[in-house]
Amino acid sequence: MKTDTSIAMKQELTQLAPALRRFAYSLTGSPADADDLLQNTLERLLSRGVPEDIELAKWAFRVCRNIWIDEYRARKVRQHLNYAIEDSEEPVADGAQAIEDQIALTEVDAAMQQLPDDQRTIISLVALEGMSYKEVADTLSIPTGTVMSRLARARIALCRFLNPEQPPAAEGA
């Protein structure tokens, strides 16, 4: 017989899975690798549980990141980038706009892949998942100031990657 806690955890994980998948994709750069990472994350969460004093969402993102670092990054699985738009819910009415959107997505994805891992992780949690700086700091077990610093460097790097012809802004201003 299943406990109410395990049923509630499975329900919460079901709701959390799309956000974890987006996060996994931001780490791996590949839909197939993101699916594998998501599956490994969910498997670990279900088999080992969550510490009592930690929120499931924060723990899930931390587990996902740690699995990626331990398994995927060590084996250098992220060799092939796949720039596909997935899970599009709305039909495309304008073909030219769809092509422009695909080009922009490809450029942003390529720029994200050039970021150092620590910066890419933080910008993904803030920009894609909408976490606050404090939530990111708690999730990754780092100081809030470190989150802010890495995020600022990531934003500057993305601007440089996406707008190489623009002179860099004054960093002290």
- Catalogue all structural domains in the chain, each as residue range(s) with its CATH number: 1-82 (1.10.1740.10), 94-165 (1.10.10.10)
> Over the stretch 2-38, which tens digit does the pLDDT of each residue have?
566 678 888 999 999 999 999 999 888 889 889 999 9
> Over the stretch 67-88, which tens digit does the pLDDT of each residue have?
888 775 555 433 434 444 444 4
User: Could you tell me the two tokens for 95?
Assistant: 């073909």
Flag whether the pTM goes above 0.85.
Answer: no
**Of residues 97, 107, 100, 29, the one with CA closest to residue 68:** 29
